[in-house]
Amino acid sequence: MRNEGLDALVCTFAPSVCYVSGYETLASFAPMFLVVGTDREPTLLVDDFEAFNAIVSSWVEDVVTFPWGEDPAAVLVDVLRHRGWAKARLGWEHHQHGGAHQSYLRAAESVGASWSYVHLLVDGIRARKSAAEIAAIRSAGAITPRGFDAARAELRPDAPDTSVAAAAYQALVGAGSERMSIQPIVTAGRNSGIPHTTFGRSRLTPGHPAILEWGACVKRYTAPMIRTGVIGELADPLWDAMYAACLAAVERTIAGMRPGVSTRELGAHASEPLQELPPRVFRDGLRGYSVGLSFEPDWLDVPGLRICPPDVRSERLLATYPTLEPGHVFHVRAVVRDVGRAGVGVSETVAVTADGCEVLTDYPRDPIRLD
């Protein structure tokens, strides 16, 4: 904050508020403001319905509440004025979500000598995980594979995809996972060939793949994995080639992960096996994205931290996260789709260490088959 010339910073993004203050709630979409000064204790603003969550989860003592449904921007302006920030240089941790941007506009009009967007400030710190954070992700990574053992038992001809999802969910929560940032994803048959589909009472068909994706959560830290399930052998040779390319892309990424490596050069190199697939196969260049502390509905941690070729990120983000650093943690993944027919994928959660990397999840990468 001092390097940015700020007297105080206002955080509104739930993962960042939790990271700095410990505060968390199931209603991560509810208005929340954390005012952090360079020379005093922080102030946390939440509605009165959430006040008890502040007591049980946060170490912040200066907690200001406002009636549920009241205009949060008016309360924020009032607090900034009464806490001595009327003429301060203020930063706003900007993420486009909910009504936070409207609150920023109101505050910028009413209080402070100057305001600036500094959404990369907290992200840049969160990007490098501490040993304690990595330990939490490692614990989650020990739970995530339990879901694949449970899912295997449900891979039966004509079984509903919901039964696979239910088995995975029960196994993960039964093994100690908290509520997950993303529900278990099970997308089977032709639905697996369409991005961002999941279970919806589709039936499993022998020879047709099912993409299985989930991440257990420990202390709000997530370790996602993807595996591909199939009853028998894959029905189309193309789908075998697709899976082989995904596996090669993931293993290339992991083999190249170490401090100082260019995120874009590694992304381009690891994506090469996918480029050899026929043009009809849909794929992307995103070989890894940051994971760690997360709330529903996403387990993405630091949005700009990615392993990918230049065309997948803006120049600004390429300049912000040009190389891998110790403490970076990624969901290293490759998913491709024969559009509308079938999709396959594989992934691991991987941490960059001082001299290489550590895979924090562990389960065989071959397709999960029920013969």
Q: What is the pLDDT of residues 90-108, one digit of tens each?
A: 998 876 555 677 788 888 8
122-126, 261-265, 355-359: least confident range? 122-126
Query: Which stretch of DSSP H or E encloses residue 73?
Result: helix 72-82
The b-or-e profile of 176-186 (16+ CB within 10 A means b, else e) is ebbebbbebbb
- What is the pLDDT, as a whole number, of residue 313? 64
Instruction: Give the position of tokens 């449900």.
Output: 154
For residue 371, what are the contacts with CB-CB under 8 A and spacing of at least 6? 232
- What is the pLDDT, as a whole number, of residue 371? 66
- Percentage of the chain beyond pLDDT 90 is 74
Is 148 within 8 Å of 264 (Cβ atoms)? no
Residue 75 confidence class, pLDDT cut points 50, 70, 90: confident
Nearest CA to 35 among 57, 7, 54, 59?
7
315 pLDDT higher than 80: no
38 pLDDT higher than 60: yes
Rg (CA), the chain: 22
Q: What is the mean pLDDT of residues 32-59?
A: 93
- What is the pLDDT, as a whole number, of residue 119? 77
The strand order across the sheet containing 210-218 reads 185-188, 210-218, 221-231, 368-370
For residue 338, what are the contacts with CB-CB under 8 A and spacing of at least 6? 193, 236, 238, 239, 242, 280, 281
Residue 116 confidence class, pLDDT cut points 50, 70, 90: confident
- What is the pLDDT, as a whole number, of residue 17? 93
**Separation of alpha carbons 19 and 219, rounded Å:** 11
Q: Return the number of other C-beta atoms located less than 10 Å from residue 356's C-beta.
A: 14
Q: What is the mean pLDDT of residues 223-250?
A: 96
Q: What is the mean pLDDT of residues 29-36?
A: 91
Task: Give bridge partners of residue 281 from the DSSP assignment.
Answer: 338
- What is the pLDDT, as a whole number, of residue 113? 82
Q: What is the pLDDT of residues 154-211, one digit of tens each?
A: 999 999 999 999 999 999 999 999 999 999 999 998 899 999 999 999 999 999 999 9
Query: Which tokens go with 130?
Result: 């501490």
- What is the pLDDT, as a whole number, of residue 314? 67
- What is the pLDDT, as a whole number, of residue 367? 92
Q: What is the pLDDT of residues 241-274, one digit of tens each?
A: 999 999 999 999 999 999 999 999 999 999 999 9
Q: What is the mean pLDDT of residues 96-122?
A: 79
335 pLDDT higher than 80: yes
- What is the pLDDT, as a whole number, of residue 311? 73
SS3 336: strand
- What is the pLDDT, as a whole number, of residue 64? 93
Q: What is the mean pLDDT of residues 18-35?
A: 92
110 pLDDT higher than 60: yes
